[in-house]
């Protein structure tokens, strides 16, 4: 007698599990259930559908060979039955049945041998009046995205407000501002964009790049009310201002759809995350769960984590399909790798930031460097920035984040380190990480190696870095008499600053430092600067040999300051 597998949720994890299970168990009956009629779509492509980069929603639902993944496709190409417009109401684990309700209201029970929950997530609803007004959207489904695009293609949307500066908020801000030239504002409760995902310096770079492309940010502000007129949104009121808007997108985060699991008596963690083991089994061994509704192990901390990413959902779906068919496949966890495109730039990361590492009890520091993405002699190149997060006591690498051009290979550099994090690499492991090299693609000593070298120098007490916020703190207090800024760049670059600030700024190119050491004040804290931090670090070493040790070197240099939009 063949087995019967039922899968609730037919977007990413569910669809992948159904197809994998059917391939391995050809005689099995497989049923996919979803309350929507749009199934098996690339949810991470939604912002690019809204922007127009992806012109038709069917492209998000199509295979690489242009077949739309609908009921007909699953039935005839995959051998999987699909019940769309069908809601799962409850699970009877003793009888191994599911109560379902069709769109016509008719209810019935279906049986299962193996069951998978791929119920996904829903947009959080902040306690704000006006969320139900017309033209207020979340981006929790393809259907919502289609509603947004329908509105903006009318040409009647001139101003939009996005609530939240995380992944979805930033991607949607780019979509509205770039292609549709809608005046777009982003309101964020925290004092930086991408809070919890990147450090303040890198978030400042990403924010500045978006501001250059017309997006306005209001950080450290709380939305108090969404104001309507005749049932339609017309403004957003924060604690500091009122912003006109004909469109509002709430992107304050998501939460797992776990009510079905909880009501069935399955183990659900605080926060609503379905608890699974590394075989993706719930507390009932015949019921599996995957995708945005589950928690998995954070492979850096070893603690539970939540990673609602399409890439993970697909891999989890394959593991579940294999295990339902009798195999022993494992999903060990995740390090939270991500990359987000922001106009012509990429912001990427994996693992912990310095702030999240501190909250987890590590004595951590983030070491930042700037370097060309390709060989310095190659004609096409740009400066990119990486930050390596390390534990000072153990020298273990805890995370990596970076910012650079869309074509700089930033995502590949973050991926290179991300794949090592679950092995608990040391700084020296990354310093000596072997990476493919050719001048059109990378430097012989890649920035990945360089940032680890900088971390080693710090841990070995050869290098005392200053981040951009440290530099600004010193600069804002420059009249106190404690600080002196030593510019190690070529004279042509440094002279304008020396002439503008003669009492506190000195131009001594690095190749002249040894012969001009007597010009360096010994009674001040020296702030060493160059373009990317390399020459200022070398100057720091040279000065230490002369007994001048009260120094800090600006890690990402003047290039990093410019990338953040800092001018002085």
pLDDT along the chain (568 residues), means of 10: 90 97 95 96 92 92 92 95 97 97 95 97 94 93 92 92 96 93 96 94 96 97 96 97 97 95 97 97 98 97 94 97 97 97 96 96 97 95 97 98 95 97 98 96 96 97 93 90 95 93 94 95 95 94 96 95 86
Q: Is residue 471 part of a domain?
A: yes
Give yes or no: residues 240 and 269 share one domain. no
Same domain, 169 and 207: yes
Nearest CA to 180 out of 326, 53, 291 is that of: 53
125 assigned to some structural domain: no
Last residue of a domain, one of 459, 476, 494: 459
Q: Domain count of the chain?
A: 4
pLDDT at residue 155, rounded to an integer: 87
My answer on whether 471 and 376 are in the same domain is no
Same domain, 233 and 270: no
Q: Is 112 found in the same domain as 63?
A: yes
**Which among 424, 459, 494 is the end of a domain?**
459
The single residue listed with the structure tokens 């995959």 is: 78
- List C-alpha distances in Å: 84 to 5, 9, 68, 292: 16, 10, 15, 20
User: Are 248 and 263 within one domain?
Assistant: no
CATH number for the domain spanning 543: value is 3.40.250.10
**Does the residue 331 lie in any domain?**
no
* Distance in angstroms (rounded) separating the CA atoms of residues 132 and 130: 5
User: What pLDDT was estimated at residue 7?
Assistant: 98
Question: pLDDT tens digits, residue range 422-447?
Answer: 999 999 999 999 999 999 999 999 99
pLDDT of residue 131: 96
Residue that is last in its domain, among 201, 223, 252: 252
How far is Cα 192 from Cα 184, in angstroms, rounded to an integer? 17
Over the Cα atoms of the chain, what is R_g? 27
Same domain, 310 and 404: no
Q: What number of other Cβ atoms are within 10 A of residue 479's Cβ?
A: 9
Q: Is 503 domain-assigned?
A: yes
CATH number of the CATH domain containing 275: 3.50.50.60
Measured CA to CA in angstroms, residue 279 lies from 115, 295, 308, 332, 486 at distances of: 14, 13, 18, 8, 57
Domain residues for 280? 4-43+52-120+257-324
* 298 part of a folded domain: yes
pLDDT of residue 500: 93
Residues 107 and 164 placed together within one structural domain of the fold: no
**70 and 115 together in one domain:** yes
Q: Report pLDDT for 1.
A: 53
Do 306 and 346 fall into the same domain? no
Chain centre to alpha carbon of residue 148? 23
Position 68 scores a pLDDT of: 93
In a domain, 333, yes or no: no
Task: Answer whether residue 330 is part of any domain.
Answer: no
Residues 17 and 100 in one domain: yes
Are the C-beta atoms of 179 and 343 separated by less than 8 Å? no
């Amino acid at each position: 007698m063949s087995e019967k597998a039922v899968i609730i949720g037919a977007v990413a994890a569910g669809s992948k599990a159904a197809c994998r299970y059917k391939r391995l168990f050809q005689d099995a009956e497989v049923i996919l259930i979803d309350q929507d009629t749009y199934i098996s779509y690339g949810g991470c492509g939604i912002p690019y559908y809204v922007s127009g980069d992806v012109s038709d929603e069917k492209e998000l639902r199509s295979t690489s060979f242009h077949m739309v993944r609908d009921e007909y496709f699953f039935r005839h190409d995959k051998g999987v039955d699909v019940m769309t417009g069908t809601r799962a109401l409850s699970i009877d684990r003793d009888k191994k049945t599911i109560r379902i309700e069709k769109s016509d209201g008719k209810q019935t029970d279906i049986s299962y041998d193996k069951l998978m929950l791929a119920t996904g997530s829903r947009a959080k609803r902040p306690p704000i009046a006006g969320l139900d007004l017309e033209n207020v959207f979340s981006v929790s489904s393809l259907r919502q995205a289609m509603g947004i695009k329908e509105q903006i293609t009318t040409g009647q949307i001139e101003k939009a407000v996005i609530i939240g500066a995380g992944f979805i908020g930033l991607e949607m801000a780019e979509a509205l501002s770039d292609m549709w030239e809608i005046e777009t504002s982003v309101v964020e409760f925290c004092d930086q964009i991408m809070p919890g995902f990147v450090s303040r310096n890198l978030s400042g770079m990403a924010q500045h790049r978006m501001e250059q492309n017309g997006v306005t940010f209001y950080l450290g502000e709380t939305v108090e009310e969404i104001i309507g007129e005749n049932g339609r949104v017309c403004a957003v009121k924060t604690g500091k201002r009122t912003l006109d808007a004909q469109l509002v997108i709430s992107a304050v985060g998501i939460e797992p759809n776990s009510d079905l699991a909880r009501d069935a008596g399955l183990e659900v963690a605080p926060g609503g995350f379905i608890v699974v083991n590394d075989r993706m089994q719930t507390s009932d061994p015949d019921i599996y769960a995957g995708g945005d509704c589950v928690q998995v192990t954070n492979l850096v901390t070893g603690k539970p984590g939540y990673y609602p990413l399409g890439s993970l959902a697909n891999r989890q779906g394959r593991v579940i399909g294999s295990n339902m068919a009798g195999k022993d496949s494992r999903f060990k966890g995740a390090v939270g790798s991500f990359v987000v495109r922001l106009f012509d730039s990429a912001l990427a990361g994996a693992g912990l930031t310095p702030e999240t590492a501190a909250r987890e009890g590590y004595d951590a520091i983030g070491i930042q460097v700037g370097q060309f993405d390709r060989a310095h002699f190659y004609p096409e190149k740009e400066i990119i920035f990486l930050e390596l997060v390390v534990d000072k006591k153990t020298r273990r690498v805890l995370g990596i984040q970076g910012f650079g051009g869309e074509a700089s290979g930033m995502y590949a550099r973050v991926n290179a380190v991300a794949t090592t994090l679950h092995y608990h690499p040391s700084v020296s492991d990354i310093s000596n990480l072997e990476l493919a090299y050719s001048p059109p693609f990378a430097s012989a000593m890649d920035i990945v190696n360089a940032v680890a070298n900088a971390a080693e120098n710090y841990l070995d007490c050869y290098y005392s870095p200053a981040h951009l916020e440290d530099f600004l703190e010193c600069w804002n207090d420059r009249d106190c008499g404690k600080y002196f800024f030593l510019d190690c760049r070529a004279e042509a670059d440094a002279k304008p600053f020396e002439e503008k600030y003669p009492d506190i700024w000195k131009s001594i190119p690095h190749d002249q430092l040894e012969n001009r050491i007597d010009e360096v004040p010994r009674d001040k804290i020296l702030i060493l600067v160059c373009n990317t931090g390399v020459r200022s670090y070398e100057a720091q070493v040279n000065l230490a040999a002369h007994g001048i040790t009260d120094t800090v070197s600006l890690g990402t240099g003047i290039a990093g300051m410019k990338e953040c939009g800092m001018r002085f």
